[in-house]
Structure 1
Amino acid sequence: MPVPESPSIVIKGGRVIDATGERTADVVVVDGRITAVGADLSADRTLDASGCIVAPGLVDIHTHLREPGKEEAETVETGARGAALGGYTAILAMPNTTPAMDSAAVVQQVLDLGRTAPCDVYASGAITVGRAGEQLAPMAEMAALGVRLFTDDGAGVQSNAMMRRAMEYATGLGVTLAQHCEDDALCGGGHMHEGEWSARLGIPGQPAEAEELMVMRDIALARLTGCRVHFQHMSTTRSVAMIREAIAAGLPVTAEATTHHFTLTHAECASYDPLYKVNPPLRTADDVAAVKAGLADGTIGIIATDHAPHAAETKELPFDQAPPGMLGLETALALALTELDLPVQQVLAALSWNPARVIGVGDTHGLPVAEGNPANLCVIDPEAAWTVDGAAMASRSTNTPYQGRELKGRVRHTLLAGEPVVVGGEAQR
């Protein structure tokens, strides 16, 4: 007996924007795939997209889900729900969990937790055992589970020789290494950017050079080994300039910027509020301008959230004791649309199809809105005005630095494999 088709859905009256361009069209979805894109289409169920943009689902290359180990701050389920509300259909979980995702067993645990989540949850793997920088993790075993990006995020691999070995190993596996660029010898004991505000406030700082030295080293090692290297949360003027030169030279490097590194500066720390403590730290206005310029010219091809939830009692500690990190999944799209003077298509590229390619999920996410492709989609109202409220977010944590900030642009619907997981701005599961 044939299995009946699921009810068809039409996303009606929207403006489709994807990597191929822009057009006004309805989109019909049946059994997880797009079956028609055109004018005056109908289906069993209608999702209103009038005044909205219909786009490939967003992809976050840098999400901290905390599970296993710190479920009081976030779980895979709550993080994924926040992602869906933010328009994401895929997120990449970072490996600095407890225990670290440095083995096939822990990677498999996270993948299993994500199977029923309202967005696709992918796993990164640690470069070194325990993210301690001393012994290579079994990358081949994790790659066999589909891991395509490895990072010790939260810590940079300090040893030049270890990083070279990791790159040579990764090249043979065909995977990408991502680096949290931070020289411990230069920034140890620092809690914000080293500059005029750290001097005024009496808070030990981290110099921009702590990031830039590792960027310089890893560009050189990418040249030596041919390894694909992705630079995480770039934050300084000279880092952006070095990556620009590396790309121009044809090296296999990519880079991301977080929303907070193009919307906030170290002056925010004048309040001594740990909500503004993040790693790498908030930098100068000139650095923010350089990051924006890198996004504009494509040097930085990806906008990442670095979604980093923390339990309230830890973020209420004194500045020098509180952990670094901010929420990001539900505000990233609106911050990008509000703060960046870029064409919408370029913003969507940085949030969707560019990161999808880097983490190896471009066969299912970030694809053009076209007949036959998987229906991983988001519908965005670019004119919707709203006020950020950490307590109203899906996360178990509330540590957003944008509390009370007015933003423009909000997700109306999100579809994962054709299933509406967010409808009218409300999570469906």
Structure 2
Amino acid sequence: METLKNTFICMGLVLFFNANAQTLETKNETIISDQLKWSERMALSIMKRHPEAWQIDNHPAPKWDYKIGMILTGYEKLYNQTKDPKYYDYIKGYADKLIDKNGTFEKFDPKDHNIDFINAGKILFNLYNTTKEQKYLTALQTLRKNFDDYPRTPSGGFWHKKIYPNQMWLDGLYMGQPFYARYTVEFEKGEKLNDVAHQFELLHYHSFDKKTGLYFHAWDESKKMPWANATTGTAPHVWLRALGWYGMALVDALDYFPKDHPKQKELVQYLNELATAVSKYQDSSGLWFQIPDLATREGNYLEASGSSMLVYAIAKGVNKGYLPTSFGKTANKGFNGLIKNLIKIDANGEIHITQVCASAGLGGNPYRDGSYEYYISEKIKVDNSHGLGAFLLAAIELEK
């Protein structure tokens, strides 16, 4: 009886100490130091909320996702700077969750021809170069092959998606072209760089707004979509994040264009035109509006993801020597605007980004008409992955 009593006492003590240990652990949550750089503060905040990368945006199950791909390109840059293995492991963990030992993607049908699917493939180059595991090379080859029979507009532009025939969106340049450029340089002696440049040329020619120097969100070569201008085929409005995708696509694709390539100067010129134009529409806060050229219209707001993307594109353009150093002021003003107005810090040092447009597009079901009212009506979120990734990239670039 005494033995049984002692057993219950021991069990009670174990339960007591376990419960208190859990309480102690909860009370002593890891505090993210404000002495760290903004890039690491953001990276650690994301990891704290989402121990595995596939959980970002509160996904219920693992998914190969273009937004997570953007975020992990930031982690790759951080790892290259810090050599901290936790950043590398975070990237590798995501790839290994979605790609099996044979290099096959989970839930991927190449016939879907969705250019968004390509973007996260950028993390595979370094994984393959580091590990030399065949599965990463196989996965890279799978994504590259998708371009071989990818549907194109009559003038040779990749459709945004199979479900959006004959349409090119600025978003799609970021999703596909930096990957395509890197692959063709590393595995094909750069033979497809002209094709990469052609994608930018088409949207520069057809989506460029001469009045503002900015770019309309998309272009329908068939001019059949109800949202498309009957004469030009362009979407009715300039959308901030689309400008951001375009700027990031330019500076990232340019990484793989040799200076003596005949298209390199052309792409650099496009970047200079963009930086000049968006500087004119930068708000006094340093940020940009959801619809940049209609700042005073009712309902418009300063949006975090597109502002962060432009900061990244301009800062990298300056760092790479594509843009005059004077644009460094534009980038710094934008980043300071983000910190002052849209970044919030909680008691544990965790940082959050606010005023992020959750999503926006054209056509589809339910139908999106590209009107001003449509862009303003889309949900505004805190810590949406578009904002997390873009801020992380901007912070890394400015810390240089």
- TM-score, structure 2 as length reference: 0.33
Structure number with larger C-alpha Rg: 2
Greater relative contact order (Cα 8 A, min sep 6): structure 1 or 2? 1
> Going by fraction, where is helix more abundant, 1 or 2?
2
> Going by fraction, where is strand more abundant, 1 or 2?
1
- TM-score, structure 1 as length reference: 0.31
